[in-house]
Amino acid sequence: MCAYKIDILSALKAAGYSTYRIRKEGLLSQSTLQKLRIGIGVSWENIETICSLLRCQPGDIIECVED
């Protein structure tokens, strides 16, 4: 099972990307933002966008953990 290492939305906000800005600029959908709020996995395309915005690698934000 994969889990988020960090609070993605807080990290995006610290990088200057409020949820309003993310929606307004069409960076991530509202449904993706909701999935991030409750900790559900998102697509690799969305992980790629998040990593681009945060200038990080996928391993910096997600990890595999045993059930």
How does pLDDT run across 21-36, given as a tens digit for each residue?
999 999 999 999 999 9
State the pLDDT confidence band at 60, using cuts at 50, 70 and 90. very high
> What length is written for the chain?
67
The owner of tokens 């509202």 is 30
**Predicted model pTM:** 0.90
- Domain range annotation of the chain: 2-64
List the structure tokens of 30.
């509202």
List the structure tokens of 5.
């290492």
State the pLDDT confidence band at 65, using cuts at 50, 70 and 90. confident
The owner of tokens 């990080």 is 56
| Distance of alpha carbon 15 from alpha carbon 44, whole angstroms | 20
